A = this chain, B = another copy of it.
């Protein structure tokens, strides 16, 4: 198949070049009843305290697969759609050696995190994620930007809510993500064309019952 190893113009093969370790780190975001938008953290055993879940890339593995593997292993989460955010490459960022980290983001319903280990994982509000390395705070900020952009126009694209919901429930979820209150009437007018009415009324709250909708 191949006529010996590839050599470049200086006669070096691929193996002659130094190679960094490559890791993935992921900000898994979800909505919490009490704390709003929260980020999954894991206790890193031989290291300092809490951090975002991550792993080293295995031989020939896709980055997205490494993300899925690390989350499956650490929080028993599947059905993920990790998305790249940024490569962190400061030479001194990891005291174990030369490690590049490809930061990712993913968004899941909190139920999907139910199987996680309660002692070695925690969910922290994105506003006050605790003491983390500079990298990880930056990853959370980028993840938040991504999520806010994603939720500006489309009704709950990541299915944080059930299949059916009232417009109020939808707006409260979007407000948690935006971090600011959203206008009630404008929000309805923007989202309603992207929703399918079910004709069924919900009386989960106090006032007039609201119609349940599905995503279009």
Contacts and interface: CB of A to CB of B under 8 A. Distances in A.
Interface stretch (A89-97, A174-182, A185-193): A89-97
A20 B22 contact: yes
Contacts of A184: none
B14 A99 contact: yes
Contact of A22 (B60, B86, B96, B100): B100
Name A's interface SS.
loop
A110 interface: no
A63 B86 CA distance: 12
A27 B20 CA distance: 23
Given A62-B89, A62-B91, A84-B87, A17 B6 contact: no
Interface stretch (A51-59, A121-129, A154-162): A51-59
Contacts of A22: 19-20, 22, 100
Contacts of A99: 14
B19 A60 contact: no
A20 B18 contact: no
B6 A59 contact: no
Interface string A70-113: 00000000000000101101110001111110100000000000
Contacts of A33: none
A35 interface: no
Interface in A1-37: 2, 6-9, 14, 17-22
Nearest to A59: B18
A58 B17 CA distance: 7
A97 B62 contact: no
A183 interface: no
A163 interface: no
A45 interface: yes
7 contacts: A6-B46, A17-B57, A20-B22, A22-B22, A22-B100, A63-B87, A87-B87
Shortest beta-carbon contacts, A-B, top 10: A19-B19, A6-B96, A18-B59, A14-B97, A60-B91, A17-B56, A63-B89, A14-B96, A9-B45, A19-B21
